[in-house]
Chains A and B, each alone.
Chain A
Amino acid sequence: MRSNPEASWGLKLAALGGLLFLHVPILIIFLYTLTPDETTYTFPLPGITFKWFGVAWQREDLWRALTLSFQVAAVATVAALILGTLAAAAVYRSNFFGREAISFLLILPIALPGIVTGIALRTAIGGFDIPFSFWTIVIGHATFCVVVVYNNVLARFRRMQGSQIEASMDLGANSIQTFRYVILPNIATALLAGGMLAFALSFDEVIVTTFTAGQQSTLPIWIFSQLVRPRDRPVTNVVAMFVMLITFVPIFLAQRLSAQNSDTEGETK
């Protein structure tokens, strides 16, 4: 591969500035988990302590919220994987009337402000006298998770050779076999990437959740209530750091995976 031309210093600086702006604020939270100051956000920190990690670990309400968030995200992701893949397959394989409308419909939940989805679902759910529960949270989350999987899978389908599927069918494989041995390996990383993104979206979603949750609180709802009425500032810092770290590992792995995948694709060209 030919080496790239050099970027100008101005461009490099601007790019670096953007990058720092994206990441430095999070590090500030990490710093504040060590503050002994319970009531203000004084900087420089008046001292250093590690006791808040222990305090957070003991909190029952945090564990409940964490468990709920995990369960909701898992179920919403599975639903999104199924619905998103089906929609992507339909849009990819045939050219039918209203195909554009489907992309449009699927993108609406993330294109429209979250509060619209939230209040619409709340009004509808309330109108049918359905109790707000685990499942109402999942229903809300699935609406905006579908499009993420759909986009990822559809993009992969478009890069895939259609002739592979035909060849498989010509060689006598049935639909299920073709899906298992030809399509699935091709879209596996797209599914993984889409699934991870859907999971992360659901795990940290707060806007729609405030409308579709009943009494239970997910981890983001817990944090939000702390932001509105700060009662446990140091514990909130620890939880915030924990949320960052727990989403970091799987997202990072999925990213590496799909990056490697596109690298190899680039080499064969």
Chain B
Amino acid sequence: MLNRASTYLYRRPRLALALLLGPPMMYMVVVYLGSLFNLLVYSFYSLEGFTGLIVRKFTLSTYAQLFEPANLDIFKRTTMMAAAVTFADALIAFPLAYYTAKFASPRLKTWLVIAITMPLWSSYLVRVYAWKLILAQEGILSWFINLLHLDGVLNWLLGFESIGGSSLALSPIGLFIVFVYIWLPYMILPVLTSLERVPKSLLEASGDLGAKPLQTFRAVILPLAFPGVVAGSIFTFSLTLGDFIAPIVLGNSKFFIGMAVYSYQGTAGNIPLAAAMTMGPIVIMIVYLLLARRLGAFDAL
């Protein structure tokens, strides 16, 4: 019976394929895409101002609200933060990934890979929390800065209106550090993967042909590792765009997209506006993913 069934399936690859694909696709298409589509529909509804009830009639007025200066500001602030975080992460990730992939002895490499992967799997919240302790006004970082007599520099930085604040814990600078910290492993791993795929013989060939190490780095390694950086940036960018935990825990009261969506949906009960607001990051990410795929980033995941 079992053998017959197995032969039957072997002869009909299409049916076998359908059986394999059925359950995961049912789940992802019905539950996930269905919900997303539902959200899209809600973004075309609106909220009745007086009653606070959702009017289930097609309208673009909710989207129009997104273009109010306050909301545009939120988009701008969030996107710039995401870009800055992505850039900083790439900068910090590259040396560590490069060293791990190309210079570490096999034994050391095993340990380094573990050390890089551990934070990725460990609790994101706890890692945000760590910075609440570190950045607190009476906390360890201030103590350290005072020890080095750098408090003047810190106050000077915090004095800038766009990035500063009353203290590190309540400023965009602090939030930036936290974002860079929590998403860093998401950048290191894809870069590491893409660097590992660069064959040693290629580097040797480059050296044999007379390239100096720096030239090899620029002309061979960097272009080949670039898809990894792009793959990593998908995560750092997207995760920063949608995060509302870190801004709530650490930021000042300035809204980021995630926070705005959270409060529109929660306290304001304005699901249509929250839905319309999430379309921002969705559109940004879909464009980003399509670009990333062209750059070969998916192979580096």
A binding-site residues for B, Cβ under 8 Å:
1, 3-7, 11-12, 14-15, 17-19, 21-23, 25-26, 28-29, 32, 40-44, 82-84, 86-87, 89-90, 93-94, 96, 102-117, 119-124, 127, 139, 142-143, 146, 150-151, 169, 174-176, 196-197, 200-201, 203-204, 206-207, 210-211, 220, 223-224, 227-228, 236-237, 240, 243-244, 247-248, 251-252, 255-256, 259, 263, 266
Contacts and interface: CB of A to CB of B under 8 A. Distances in A.
A124 B35 CA distance: 5
A259 B110 contact: yes
Nearest to B278: A116
A131 to B, nearest CB: 17
Nearest to B131: A25
Interface in B245-281: 245, 248-249, 257-258, 261-262, 265, 271, 274-275, 278, 281
B233 to A, nearest CB: 11
Contacts of A7: 99, 102-103
Given A87-B21, A247-B121, 4 more contacts: A105-B32, A243-B122, A251-B122, A266-B106
A146 B130 contact: no
Among B42, B118, B258, B261, the one with the most A-chain Cβ atoms within 10 Å of its Cβ is B118
A7 to B, nearest CB: 4
B223 interface: no
A107 to B, nearest CB: 8
Nearest to B122: A247
Interface residues of B, number: 99
B118 A255 contact: yes
A178 B23 CA distance: 21
Contact of A174 (B3, B126, B238): B3
Interface of B: 2-3, 5-7, 9-10, 13, 16-17, 20-25, 27-29, 31-36, 38-39, 42, 92-93, 95-96, 98-100, 102-106, 110, 112-119, 121-134, 136, 138-140, 142-143, 181, 184-185, 188, 234-235, 238-239, 241-245, 248-249, 257-258, 261-262, 265, 271, 274-275, 278, 281-282, 285, 289, 298, 301
